[in-house]
Structure 1
Amino acid sequence: MGAAAAGVILLASLLPTQAQAAPVPGAVQGAKTDAAQRRADYDSRANLAAAAVAQPTAALNRALVAQPSASAVNTLRDSLGVQGIIDIDRATGTPRRVAKLDGFLTAPSKKKPAAIALDYVKAHPEVFGLSAAALASLELRQDYVDIEGTHHLSWVQVADGVPVFGNGLKAHVTSDGRLVQVDGAPLKSVPAAAGAAKVTPAGARAAAVKDVFGTSTAKATKTAGDVTTFSDNGNVKKVWFQTASGPRLAWQTIVVDEGYVSVIDAATGEVLYRKSTVANDTANVWENYPGAVKGGVAKKVDLTAKGWLPKNAPRLSGNVAHVYSDVNDNDLPDASEEVGPSGLGKWDYPLVDFNEQVGGLCSDAFPCSWDPATANSWQTNRKQNAVQLFTFLGTFHDHLKAGPIGFTRAAGNFEAQDGDAVQGQAMDGANTADGLPDANHTDNANMNTPPDGIPPVMQMYLLNPGPESVAANTGDEADVVFHEYTHGLSNRLVVDASGNSTLSSQQGGAMGEAWSDWYASDYLVAKGLEKDTAKPGEVLIGKYWTAGGTIRTEGLDCKVNSPAAICPGTPGAGPGGYTYGDYGKVYAGGAEVHADGEIWAQTLWDLRDAIGSKKSQSLVTRAMELSPANPSYLDMRNSILAADRVVNDGDNAKKIWKVFATRGMGYFAAAVDGDDAQPVEDFSMPPAANTPRGSLTGKVSDTDTGAAVSGLTIAFGGHASGFAGDYRATTAANGTYTISGIIPGTYAKVFARGAGFDPVVKTLSINSGTKTENWVVRKDWAASSGGGSIVSATGPDYTPYGCGPTAMIDQSQISGWGSDVAAEGQTLVVKLSGAVDVSELVINPSATCGDDETASTGGYRVETSVDGTTWAAAASGTFPGGTVTPTVVALAAGTGDGIGYVRYTMLTTQGQDAGLCPADQPPAFSGCVFQDSTELAVYGPAA
């Protein structure tokens, strides 16, 4: 669900001529149909983790989520010192990461790396909590040794011959036998027997294809054991998947021609997990291009000597890549789309410019390579572009494979000898509209990276001319190709124990874009193809496309407080280089991976300046290998520090800390997790190990009754489980709590949270004494975390999109209930967690699920009931246009006394109310197709 108007500035002159109805979260900007959209990544395990956090003291009836005792975690953490990390996964109760940033977990040893790691796990059962059966289920999947000699070990948990998906055990051991880190969040217990699957492999794949609006008709080609291979090179295999009721038998489906890895429940066919393997870029990177001051003149390259192409090859297919012109976008190398040599052993196809025909920004410095006004004009440079793309792929393959990066075959790189050479599709879709590309096949590029062993697919598109762009081709630009290729690097290195990419979080996705910018620019500057002097604002992304400008907001080399004229920034984030506190502010529409990725890219460029290109290449790459699943910026900062400990014995630690502290990622910076779109910045260096500690104590009471509240969690965001200590406590029966051992400082995300209560967040300064802080919290009787539930709802259920009816009572002002416009509106019934005398009912009518604000609820109706059978009309009216925040709805006298149920109806949208949806015209706004509300809350004392 979602509307294409999302992200479009709502001014009359800029509105689309018709609605792009039903694109889904994470859609490609500019796509016009459902089939062209990208489904948002989805992991049902996140719901389990959220439940564990929302109900930290509730009996969840699943021992696998039980957390290790605070004393056990504290004891081990204290033994690791002030820079020790023990990060417990809230869904499994096992460590997401155990590490020591200023040292190692163990001393040097001559034991085998696997034994060193497992001995450590067995020595700390109070923290890892693995049963004997869980330990016995571990099977070593990989012992990959990087170019620095560090062993990266991955164990998959296998029960009854079936592997566990995602959760497993990972460890990292230096060449001299020191344990760097343990991660992976394995399951504490595993099933004894798998039983039979009700859903067939073909049925699971069909469910996965349907889930993403796919059209794939690939057929099964081979079945070996529990693995069925299909004609698109994808496969389906049995896995265990963690759910709220424990591990369930499921099918992992890799659908290459749709670009997704999914997990389908083997009993019900329910989608449990969905991860796009495609990295889409509507604003891409390129720099070394035809006409560039350096690197803009064609030179001879020996493709055979490089090892990229066999001697006298008939087409562009070798060990590093197979490139063809997929102009009809059928994802197949049709005979007419292959490119052969221009002569015996020669691949000479000079670029023919279209400068005179196109005009505009076309010039010798920025040559146009096709004419969008002339059908089939792209054919002139079709072969030239394919050869150029093939050469770029070979160049960057070799660069990433060499030291100090070391993206080798063992690390999961892309080579034909392992069955996964890059499939490069030049001019993708150029002939999808009668000799021209349709709207879904211009101004873009992407890289679809399945797990190791399955070939990735890179699609390069033509570029349309505009006020700030030229009619060119992404395959002719070095840094757009290098950017896309780097998506393959990051998605092969930041993986779970099974080898699946875990870059689906908000901050993880932003780092994915930043790494792609950084590796491409680092290469071009290091090779002297682009310059980087002391002057800021020189390292620009997108010079060719923008005829000398950039497709980012400013240069990678913009320092904090750089002059505004050179590094203008954005109105939301301000001028100069960006800091962590700018997250979600770089782009006017909120968090966005390309925009927020600029923060990480600039930070890494600072790191490059501080320690040099080669050392940065080494540490940034090694950090990917040490990354926990779904990393935040702070997770990856810690990984870079850990990598320096391994590679350089920690010699660069102070410089690294200074770089990150300058960018707001200092010691007291906070992020709840990788999906936190509002992280808190801090500019502090780490405190000394012998720093005196402080304490926080106080009492929690209820807003409406004044009574003490027991069982609530008081915790420090970013420091509640892992780095900088486990600062967390649960209120006692009298509402009191105490947290001790706190390093003095200012903490901006200290929160009180518990089942059914709205979270309260404060900024607290802690000194070496004892600070008293009392809290007043408010119970939301509708909240699902406190026992509220959805009894029924009309309209389609968009739960798989993250905006089903239950999102209406999840205490979030971001996620919400999305539905379709209907003549009688759409209704849901909420059962409250108890009978209440309502003092206030609050509704946030704002749009959700990617829709523009016209989908916000306009006309509404509220009814209340004591028993869920007899209803009273409590309120009705219209939210004025532009109402997109929590709004108090006054109830009629007596209709809020002792109620147990609320029935809420969205009657119209604000777009309909504004007259934006005439019946005789195609829908132009989200509110003509979808109607949404974000949250409903009920407050008051118990009846």
Structure 2
Amino acid sequence: MGGGPRADTTGADPAAYATYVDARDSAVLVREDLIDHDADHPSWEVFPNSPRVDRSSVDTRKRWCAVPARGCAEVVGVPGHPAWDVDPATGQSTTTTKGNNAIAVQNWFSNDPFSVGTETATPRPDRRYDYPWTNQWQEQRCNPEVFTSPQANDIDAARANLFAMHNRMHDWTYHLGFTEETWNMQQDNLGRGGLGNDPEQGNAQAGGISGGPPAFAARNNANQITPPDGVAPTTNMYLWQPMAGSFYAPCVDGDFDMSVIAHEYGHAVTNRMIAGPSAGVSSPQGMSESWSDQLAMEYLFEHGYAAPGRRGFTIGEYTTQDPNAGIRNYNMSDSPLNYSSVDYDFVGLQVHASGEVWSATNTDIRAAMMRRWGSGTPAIQKACATGARDVTACPGNRRWIQLVFDSFLLMSVSQVSMVDARDAMLAADRIRFGGANQDLLWNAFAGRGLGETAASVGHTDADPTPGFTSPYAREGSLRFLPVGERGPVAGAQLFVGRYQARAVPVADTDAATPLTDRVDLVPGTYEFVVRAPGYGHTRIGPVKVKAGQNRTLAVSLRPNLASATAGAAVTGDGINLPQIADDDEATNWASLGAPVAGRQVTVDLAGDVQQVRRVQVSAMLRPAVAGDADAGTQSRYSAVRQFRVLACTATGPVTCADAADFRPVYTSRPDAFPAVAPRPRAPELIMRSFDIPRTKATHLRVEVLTNQCTGAPDYAGEQDDDPRAATDCATASPQAQNVRIAEFQAFTR
């Protein structure tokens, strides 16, 4: 099971879940050939991608038809297969949302993702499935009365759209190799291998009535349950709705977001094809979620439905109203992630976030393939998508996605790491294209830390060994040289990318570790983070590494005056106070169960009177730690948003023990950690640097003004008309009483 965000009340990460025609086909085709009027051919009114993302109710649906006809935007189906709405047992139309590849039903009254509804769309004897769409869930702002209204929350349009999208994914994946012989999903396998009796069962508006507030058991999610071949899979599309302190979605219906529908269908593909058909893939490093994102993106692109630019690489723009990252942390076409930070997100090894490393890697590969093999015209892209052109006559992106599908069949075990998936893609290229792309594959893998020395201790490894070298490149070699005021700094670590917490360093100056002070990297541009006890964090980059280069990466480190290692002492409110001064974003201070405004931590700076010009603050969270004073799951909404810095100089009777001894010297912007809807994300919470007025002090105090719950406009106010639940985070969520800061660091410059 997998997919988009699952609702919970903690704000933690969601947990997600050549043509042969047989006698039956011939009978259907002959019958259709004899009929010369459009009424006997099916058509569907659908959103090829989604409704408009500006929340308007303009109906932008297109008409898809089984045969060419006036007014049809596109002809759909696979030659030699029944039309989408035909029952293969009778050769007749079901006149509703049921056919050989899929069935779409209403399931308003069940929150059980394994249950399947029975009510298909209102029959259309003329086979014209053009049900009205009024955008009622959005127009009525999630008001539950929509279910008893005449429009019935557009349920017929939802079922018809979901049915058509599942059929379209069946057809597109069929041409890439997800066929009867590789355990696809069909009621009748038409004598072509595999087991039948397993069409995709789609629950539209799952839990629409039963799954809303106060428990939100069936909101803001989508999932796919894929049993072995011959047993029908089930997918659930849910309604989306804002939830206080958990997930701020617009009032939209997931049945109309093809990026989400296609993502879930992708889970069925990988669960059947990898070690298929009964094992189901297990990839805690996140490839299963990534593959689903990739399939959704590529389907939309090849058919010409993707939004322009980076929005075409966004999964869930419609369901989140976020054109940049959608339901992820990063847009897959603009991501800084690499294998050394596969565990970067603050809930630990998490399939959605960790999978973004694999998405970024494959986006690089796809771009390199398009540079080599071209991007083609829209007509060529469409011909490749529908199987009308052989892959060897297709642009680079089609060659790439074919390798992705081929790699599924080359993974013989269900428990796979990213290194396993890398090896399968390399093998797929050797088999399919004679190894024509080995160089660009290896170089792209190496650029994301999945090079020839990358290693993973099994599929659950949260700290795999990254490798940035390629057998097809002349790497550059960097010698890591951190230098402080008194010379080289021992115990410093170098990380590739933007993350330190839960990331794996690539070099260090600690003689007790197996690492050295050197790292080899394929040519490219890199960012680095340096962490050293007593020196806090230093960001470096961009750094351009050239082929054959041998250079010293000298890094000037300034003492962190607020570091416990350097001699600073911490007092104040809350728990885990020393962790705000330990030079480590993997730990944090917390104040729990009290209004957050005014909660503070005071640091007696290392040394005597110091002149401070800059502070660094991190709002990074961490996974649950059993036995810790702050043991449980940490909510995204508890991260600090706005703070101020106060200063005190201990002299004479002034001891800096009282609030009256401190003077304000700096107040951050209200969006110092600028999270927006649908939820706070790791990239918005990691270490940030703030210049402050030149300040002389022996003590600095960091004081919370707001956390993400109390200070972010996107989480404020009543955002729907559902009387059963409030949405204002500051008044309706317990996270208004919790705040966390990972690091407070102070520097002379």
TM-score by length of 1: 0.42
- Over 3 Å counting, the alpha-carbon distance change for 1:828 and 1:341 in structure 2 is closer
Correspondence for 1:540 among 305, 324, 336: 305
Kindly state the Cα deviation for residue 644 of structure 1 after the two structures are TM-superposed. Answer: 0.5
Q: Does 1:936 align with 2:743?
A: yes
Alignment check: 8 A CA contact 1:780 1:937 kept: no
Kindly state the Cα deviation for residue 485 of structure 1 after the two structures are TM-superposed. Answer: 0.7
Mapped partners of 2:714, 2:61: distance in 1: 40
1:446 — aligned with what?
A: 222
- Over 3 Å counting, the alpha-carbon distance change for 1:571 and 1:504 in structure 2 is closer
Determine helix, strand or coil for the equivalent of 2:297. Answer: helix
Alignment check: 8 A CA contact 1:843 1:937 kept: yes
Kindly state the Cα deviation for residue 711 of structure 1 after the two structures are TM-superposed. Answer: 3.6
The unaligned stretches of length 5 or more in structure 2 are: 17-49, 66-70, 189-193, 242-250, 315-321, 326-330, 338-351, 375-391, 457-467, 622-634, 673-687, 720-725
Q: Does 1:39 align with 2:39?
A: no
Correspondence for 1:327 among 108, 111, 135: 108
1:460 — aligned with what?
A: 237
Determine helix, strand or coil for the equivalent of 2:206. Answer: coil
2:204 — aligned with what?
A: 426
Alignment check: 8 A CA contact 1:826 1:905 kept: yes
Mapped partners of 2:362, 2:727: distance in 1: 39
2:43 — aligned with what?
A: none
Correspondence for 1:351 among 129, 140, 160: 129
TM-score by length of 2: 0.51
Kindly state the Cα deviation for residue 552 of structure 1 after the two structures are TM-superposed. Answer: 7.7
Determine helix, strand or coil for the equivalent of 1:459. Answer: strand
- Over 3 Å counting, the alpha-carbon distance change for 1:731 and 1:475 in structure 2 is closer
The superposition leaves residues 96-153 of structure 1 with CA deviations (integer Å, 9 ceiling, x where unpaired) of xxxxxxxxxxxxxxxxxxxxxxxxxxxxxxxxxxxxxxxxxxxxxxxxxxxxxxxxxx
Kindly state the Cα deviation for residue 293 of structure 1 after the two structures are TM-superposed. Answer: 0.8
- Over 3 Å counting, the alpha-carbon distance change for 1:825 and 1:438 in structure 2 is closer
Correspondence for 2:667 among 879, 882, 887: 879
1:217 — aligned with what?
A: none
1:822 — aligned with what?
A: 595
- RMSD over aligned CA atoms reads 7.3
2:389 — aligned with what?
A: none
Alignment check: 8 A CA contact 2:601 2:701 kept: yes
Determine helix, strand or coil for the equivalent of 2:74. Answer: coil
Determine helix, strand or coil for the equivalent of 1:650. Answer: coil
Mapped partners of 1:411, 1:297: distance in 2: 16
Determine helix, strand or coil for the equivalent of 1:774. Answer: strand
Mapped partners of 2:77, 2:93: distance in 1: 25
Which amino acid is the alignment partner of residue 405 of structure 2? T
Kindly state the Cα deviation for residue 620 of structure 1 after the two structures are TM-superposed. Answer: 1.2
1:211-222 matches, within 5 Å, as none
1:514 — aligned with what?
A: 294
1:644 — aligned with what?
A: 429
Alignment check: 8 A CA contact 2:482 2:557 kept: yes
- Over 3 Å counting, the alpha-carbon distance change for 1:846 and 1:618 in structure 2 is closer
1:221-240 matches, within 5 Å, as none
Alignment check: 8 A CA contact 1:808 1:933 kept: no
Alignment check: 8 A CA contact 2:12 2:636 kept: no
Mapped partners of 1:814, 1:405: distance in 2: 45
Mapped partners of 2:171, 2:713: distance in 1: 58
- Over 3 Å counting, the alpha-carbon distance change for 1:607 and 1:484 in structure 2 is farther
Alignment check: 8 A CA contact 2:76 2:168 kept: no
The superposition leaves residues 737-767 of structure 1 with CA deviations (integer Å, 9 ceiling, x where unpaired) of 7648x57845534665445542453525457
Alignment check: 8 A CA contact 2:271 2:280 kept: no
Which amino acid is the alignment partner of residue 619 of structure 1? L
Q: Does 1:761 align with 2:513?
A: no
Kindly state the Cα deviation for residue 515 of structure 1 after the two structures are TM-superposed. Answer: 2.2
Q: Kindly, what percent of the aligned residue pairs are identical? A: 15
Q: Does 1:377 align with 2:150?
A: yes
Mapped partners of 2:487, 2:222: distance in 1: 56
1:702 — aligned with what?
A: 484
Which amino acid is the alignment partner of residue 88 of structure 2? A
Mapped partners of 2:359, 2:166: distance in 1: 24
- Over 3 Å counting, the alpha-carbon distance change for 1:856 and 1:407 in structure 2 is farther
- Over 3 Å counting, the alpha-carbon distance change for 1:475 and 1:429 in structure 2 is same
Determine helix, strand or coil for the equivalent of 1:761. Answer: strand
Alignment check: 8 A CA contact 1:339 1:383 kept: no
Q: Does 1:618 align with 2:391?
A: no
Determine helix, strand or coil for the equivalent of 1:327. Answer: coil
Mapped partners of 1:919, 1:446: distance in 2: 26
Mapped partners of 2:717, 2:523: distance in 1: 60
The unaligned stretches of length 5 or more in structure 1 are: 1-25, 43-279, 363-370, 465-470, 526-538, 542-549, 558-568, 573-577, 585-590, 675-683, 721-725, 798-803, 897-901
Mapped partners of 2:96, 2:324: distance in 1: 50
Kindly state the Cα deviation for residue 326 of structure 1 after the two structures are TM-superposed. Answer: 0.7
- Over 3 Å counting, the alpha-carbon distance change for 1:825 and 1:809 in structure 2 is farther
Number of aligned residues: 559
Determine helix, strand or coil for the equivalent of 2:264. Answer: helix
Determine helix, strand or coil for the equivalent of 1:425. Answer: strand
1:857 — aligned with what?
A: 642
2:459 — aligned with what?
A: none
1:573-722 matches, within 5 Å, as 604=366, 607=369, 610=374, 611-612=392-393, 615-623=399-407, 631=418, 640-653=425-438, 665=444, 696-697=478-479, 699-703=481-485, 706-713=486-493
Alignment check: 8 A CA contact 1:326 1:429 kept: yes
Alignment check: 8 A CA contact 1:475 1:481 kept: yes
Kindly state the Cα deviation for residue 34 of structure 1 after the two structures are TM-superposed. Answer: 3.6
Alignment check: 8 A CA contact 1:342 1:348 kept: no
Mapped partners of 2:565, 2:415: distance in 1: 27
Mapped partners of 2:743, 2:168: distance in 1: 55
Mapped partners of 1:940, 1:688: distance in 2: 43
Q: Does 1:404 align with 2:177?
A: yes
Kindly state the Cα deviation for residue 296 of structure 1 after the two structures are TM-superposed. Answer: 7.8
Kindly state the Cα deviation for residue 638 of structure 1 after the two structures are TM-superposed. Answer: 7.1
- Over 3 Å counting, the alpha-carbon distance change for 1:628 and 1:809 in structure 2 is farther
Alignment check: 8 A CA contact 1:838 1:938 kept: no
Correspondence for 1:485 among 265, 268, 273: 265
The superposition leaves residues 366-408 of structure 1 with CA deviations (integer Å, 9 ceiling, x where unpaired) of xxxxx99794334598578657755754664576467634696
1:296-335 matches, within 5 Å, as 300-301=83-84, 303-305=86-88, 323-331=104-112
Kindly state the Cα deviation for residue 911 of structure 1 after the two structures are TM-superposed. Answer: 9.8
Alignment check: 8 A CA contact 1:281 1:446 kept: no
Mapped partners of 2:280, 2:418: distance in 1: 15
Mapped partners of 1:889, 1:738: distance in 2: 34
- Over 3 Å counting, the alpha-carbon distance change for 1:330 and 1:554 in structure 2 is closer
Determine helix, strand or coil for the equivalent of 1:748. Answer: strand
Q: Does 1:906 align with 2:704?
A: yes
2:557 — aligned with what?
A: 777
Mapped partners of 1:717, 1:439: distance in 2: 38
1:258 — aligned with what?
A: none
Kindly state the Cα deviation for residue 643 of structure 1 after the two structures are TM-superposed. Answer: 2.4
The superposition leaves residues 811-840 of structure 1 with CA deviations (integer Å, 9 ceiling, x where unpaired) of 4499986856617743568899x9898664
